[in-house]
Amino acid sequence: MRRSLSVRWRLTIVYTVIVAASGAVLLALVYGLVTGGEVRSGSVTTEVTPGSDDDDPPPVPPELRDDERTDGSGELLQSSWLALAFVTVVSVGIGWVVAGRLLAPVHTITARAQRISADSLDERIALGGPRDELRALADTFDALLGRVQSTVTSERRLVATMSHELRTPLANQRAALEVALADPDADAGDLRAAATTALEQSQRAARSIDALLVLARAQSGEATGPPRPVDLRAAVADAVDQTRAPDDGLTWDVHLVDLTVAGEPDLLARAVANLVDNAAHHNVENGHVAVRITAEAGTGRVVVENTGLPVPPETAADLVLPFRRGAADRTAAGGGVGLGLTVVQAVADHHGGALVLTPRPGGGLVAELRLPAQ
């Protein structure tokens, strides 16, 4: 493949062509003005002098003879062409220097970007100088690096935490089975208890894997098909019916209105189910759960409010992080896997919506899922 000219050389050539073309046009204009002036000055006005013979032609001044006028124009043209050639040659060097100075920030951006790798995402271009287009380009690249660093850090934390989450149920399952097998006097009841423990831990690991699959599907941004109308009222009502139990000790306040949104039914159903399940699971004895749907100004809202332990305002936004349960990470609380709100956040982003978490003054949380209404 033939190597093309560098940008610096191309800018130099453009500068040189512009200077040469401008000089040639200027030379043509000056030469035209000079030769036109000589022709006009060469015309003689005849004046009649009293007592002279009108038939005698007036004398021609010696400085206006045609041969001398032609020689002067030729010398002027030759000198002008030599001057234009000299200016063109000089413009090559000037253009090379100017192009180099203009492209110096580009070389700085390229050199610093080449040094940045997956292990040094905290580095930035940090281009100084005036706030021109190149400075804007470098600042945009720095902002992109910041987003990439945040994503990579989140993915690494997810992998590390997921390793812990899966290791815990597997270790518990192995311990229960080893204890049962190591006891020579174990009867059927002991073996059944060990098997029950192993099954519960296996189900916990399966729930974590299922949640991760849903999270990966939502975060990938790849839909399984074109958006379809989703009856959000039916999805929320089904989630409430699946979660609410007669003996849960909670007071339920449900107000639903008709709301249809465009999206993927499975993901939206999982999102609202996670909100309702979190509200019931992270609650207090004889607590309260309020579920309502509102629609206004083209935006549908699923609001789930519950009583519970106080949530510091500064940590409410962190609840969408993977495996973040309440105030601590990796706390084995009940049957949760710590991905409920993370999945809801990913589903909201996937559908062009948002998840807003607001702590209640008396304890608990208000989770609001906003989606574009159809």
Q: Examine the pLDDT at 120 and tell me if it is beyond 80.
A: no
Of residues 291 and 246, more confidently modeled? 291
Q: For residue range 251-266, list pLDDT tens digits in order.
A: 999 999 999 998 888 8
User: What are 255's strand-pairing partners?
Assistant: 292
* Cα gap 64→58, rounded to integer Å: 13
Q: Would you state the structure tokens that stand for residue 51, as one six-digit string?
A: 């007592």
| Res 167: pLDDT | 79
Alpha helices by DSSP H, listed for the chain, are 7-42, 66-115, 133-182, 188-220, 232-243, 265-281, 313-316, 340-350
CB 311 within 8 A of CB 359: yes
| Res 292: pLDDT | 95
Q: Of 115, 143, 158, which residue constitutes the final position of a domain?
A: 115
Running DSSP on this structure, what letter comes out for residue 373? B
Per cent of the chain over pLDDT 70 is: 80
Phi, psi at 366, each rounded to 5°? -115, 115
- Residue 158 falls inside a structural domain: no
- Residue 257 falls inside a structural domain: yes
User: What are 261's strand-pairing partners?
Assistant: 230, 373
What pLDDT band is residue 2 in, cutting at 50, 70 and 90? low
Q: Examine the pLDDT at 327 and tell me if it is beyond 70.
A: no
Q: Examine the pLDDT at 52 and tell me if it is beyond 70.
A: no
Q: Examine the pLDDT at 60 and tell me if it is beyond 80.
A: no
Q: Examine the pLDDT at 64 and tell me if it is beyond 50.
A: no
- Residue 81 falls inside a structural domain: yes
Q: For residue range 133-145, list pLDDT tens digits in order.
A: 888 888 888 888 8
Letter for the amino acid at 347? V
Q: Would you state the structure tokens that stand for residue 279, as one six-digit string?
A: 């509200």
- Residue 256 falls inside a structural domain: yes
Q: Examine the pLDDT at 73 and tell me if it is beyond 60.
A: yes
Q: Of 92, 115, 138, which residue constitutes the final position of a domain?
A: 115
Of residues 234 and 86, more confidently modeled? 234
Spatial neighbors of 118 by CB under 8 A, at least 6 apart, are 152
Running DSSP on this structure, what letter comes out for residue 319? G
Q: For residue range 76-118, list pLDDT tens digits in order.
A: 777 778 888 888 888 888 888 888 888 888 888 888 888 887 7
DSSP H or E run through 54? none
Spatial neighbors of 158 by CB under 8 A, at least 6 apart, are 322, 323
| Res 349: pLDDT | 86
* Cα gap 81→22, rounded to integer Å: 13
- Residue 272 falls inside a structural domain: yes
Residues 235 and 357 in one domain: yes
Letter for the amino acid at 166? L
Q: Examine the pLDDT at 225 and tell me if it is beyond 80.
A: no
- Residue 93 falls inside a structural domain: yes
CB 223 within 8 A of CB 264: yes
- Residue 311 falls inside a structural domain: yes
Of residues 105 and 33, more confidently modeled? 105
| Res 135: pLDDT | 85
Residues 106 and 241 in one domain: no
Question: Which of these, 229, 163, 174, 227, lies nearest to 197 by C-alpha position?
Answer: 174
**What CATH number is given to the structural domain containing 242?**
3.30.565.10
Q: Of 75, 92, 115, which residue constitutes the final position of a domain?
A: 115
Q: Examine the pLDDT at 153 and tell me if it is beyond 60.
A: yes
Question: Which of these, 110, 92, 109, 87, lies nearest to 27 by C-alpha position?
Answer: 87
Q: What is the mean pLDDT of residues 195-205?
A: 85
**Which pTM value belongs to this model?**
0.55
- Residue 221 falls inside a structural domain: no
Running DSSP on this structure, what letter comes out for residue 330? S
Question: Which of these, 358, 350, 359, 353, lies nearest to 371 by C-alpha position?
Answer: 353
**Domain that residue 344 falls in:** 228-372
Domains of the chain: total: 2
